[in-house]
Amino acid sequence: MKMTMRWYGSQFDTVTLQQIKQIPGMTGVITTLYDIPAGEKWPLDKIQAIKAEVEAAGLKIEGIESVNVHDDIKIGLPSRDKYIQNYIESLENLGKCGIDMVCYNFMPVFDWTRTDLAKERPDGSTVMAYDQAKVDAIDPQTFFDTTTTNSNGFVMPGWEPERLGHVKELFDAYKDVSSEKLFDNLVYFLKAIGPVCEKYGIKMAIHPDDPSWPVFGLPRIITGKDALVKLMKAVDKPYNGVTFCAGSLGTNPKNDLPAIIRALPGRIYFAHVRNLHHFAPGLFEEAAHLSSDGSFDLYEICRALDEIGFDGPVRPDHGRMIWGEKAMPGYGLYDRALGATYINGLFEAIEKSKKSK
């Protein structure tokens, strides 16, 4: 595995490449062109510029998170072909720069969803949290407005004001999109981008839905083992793969995380390794990475990744806000750096215990 950090680019991130480089074991970043709206082409010169910047800092771009998919593709509107063509050209430009892993999601309207962006824990740290009862009591527009107001002045990934300024219109556009239709639209998209992925050896890694159930009545289809296996079979090509995200799949306590990993040998191209603490179904908060701080066994997750021969990028995920840091919720430096160090330790122990057997 390769240890990486998500980095939004020097214009948008509070964390610098130098700080990332100083974290032990860190070899790369997962980045994006954060200011390019979903559906628009990624210009070659911008990709080349960010690549040069990352490499000058002694790091490598191990992948993109995300090249976002335009809603018209998810809805299946006639205009989707134009946006798919743009997507293909973006992949072409990434391929020309030797970037070969792209994380994306297929969640309607909202990306990941949390009801609290800074819930205080007894030790004074803050974490993001989710309470289904709060979602049930609020309308999508108010939800978007509160999320935006509470995000410390940052635009969170998947929460772009230009797009979500039209929440009502977006919801209307999705009104006839059932889970089946959404799945078919995903397959249509994947088949259309197949040739460019194959030409450049690009691995598409779908990010699971977070949380892993319908939110505000919108369908969510990438929710667990069966859904992921079904998608791998629907487009049974190496370019069609998965981002294993412990925190997203783990929102459903019934999802057995190591079993999901073992069901996808050879198809996991990227891993988000983190922890959550469950209080009750639909009620959880994000925890520190350490197994004992949350509900998941991070050792077993890393062991399953090792067992299937996973050799792609791993990144620590949403960190707590600690030591007075002010950053985009989930994406500060300190707790993610602690997470990376801990995950490195787990992998070292797994490696060595295999050798000693």
Please state the closest distance from residue 198 (CB atom) to ligand DNO, in A: 22
Q: Which of residues 137-196 bind ligand DNO (CB under 6 A)?
A: 157-158
Does 87 bind ligand DNO (CB under 6 A)? Our answer is no
Cα separation, 245 vs 256, in Å, equals 12
Q: Is 287 helix (H, G, I), strand (E, B) or coil?
A: coil
Does 330 bind ligand DNO (CB under 6 A)? Our answer is yes
Specify whether 331 is catalytic: yes
Neighbour count for residue 222 (Cβ, 10 Å): 25
Cα–Cα distances in angstroms (integers) from residue 232 to residues 210, 225, 311, 344, in the given order: 19, 11, 19, 29
Judged by CB under 6 A, which of 72, 111, 131, 285 binds ligand DNO? 111
Residue 64 burial by Cβ neighbours in a 10 Å radius (0-12, 13-18, 19+):
buried
Does 90 bind ligand DNO (CB under 6 A)? Our answer is no
Specify whether 289 is catalytic: no
* Binding string, residues 60-79; x marks residues near ligand DNO by CB under 6 A: -----xx-------------
Are the C-beta atoms of 312 and 273 separated by less than 8 Å?
no
Specify whether 111 is catalytic: no
Are the C-beta atoms of 64 and 97 separated by less than 8 Å?
no
Does 104 bind ligand DNO (CB under 6 A)? Our answer is yes
Does 285 bind ligand DNO (CB under 6 A)? Our answer is no
8, 104, 239, 331: which one is catalytic?
331
Q: How big is the CA angle at 212 (ends 298 and 86), to the nearest 5 degrees?
A: 105
Please state the closest distance from residue 65 (CB atom) to ligand DNO, in A: 5
Judged by CB under 6 A, which of 17, 99, 101, 103 binds ligand DNO? 103
Please state the closest distance from residue 247 (CB atom) to ligand DNO, in A: 7
Quick one: 105 or 115, whose CB is closer to ligand DNO? Answer: 105
Judged by CB under 6 A, which of 112, 174, 284, 347 binds ligand DNO? 112
Piece of the chain touching ligand DNO by CB under 6 A; list 97-105, 196-204, 256-264, 280-288: 97-105
Piece of the chain touching ligand DNO by CB under 6 A; list 55-63, 100-108, 252-260, 284-292: 100-108
| Token pair belonging to 100 | 């070969």
Cα separation, 215 vs 228, in Å, equals 19
Task: Kindly determine how many residues on this chain lie close enough to bind ligand DNO according to the rule CB under 6 A.
Answer: 12
Specify whether 278 is catalytic: no
Cα–Cα distances in angstroms (integers) from residue 134 to residues 139, 155, 259, 330, in the given order: 10, 22, 31, 20
Judged by CB under 6 A, which of 4, 105, 223, 240 binds ligand DNO? 105
Give the single-character DSSP code of 68: P
323: alpha, beta or left? (left if phi > 0; alpha if psi -120 to 50): left
Specify whether 272 is catalytic: yes
Please state the closest distance from residue 118 (CB atom) to ligand DNO, in A: 15
Specify whether 277 is catalytic: no
Q: What is the DSSP string of 97-133?
A: TT--EEEEE--SS-SS--SEEEEEPTTS-EEEEEEHH
Are the C-beta atoms of 94 and 30 separated by less than 8 Å?
no
Quick one: 245 or 322, whose CB is closer to ligand DNO? Answer: 245
By annotation, the residues acting in catalysis are 207, 245, 272, 317-318, 331
The residues of the shown chain that bind ligand DNO, judged by CB under 6 A, are: 65-66, 103-105, 111-112, 157-158, 207, 318, 330
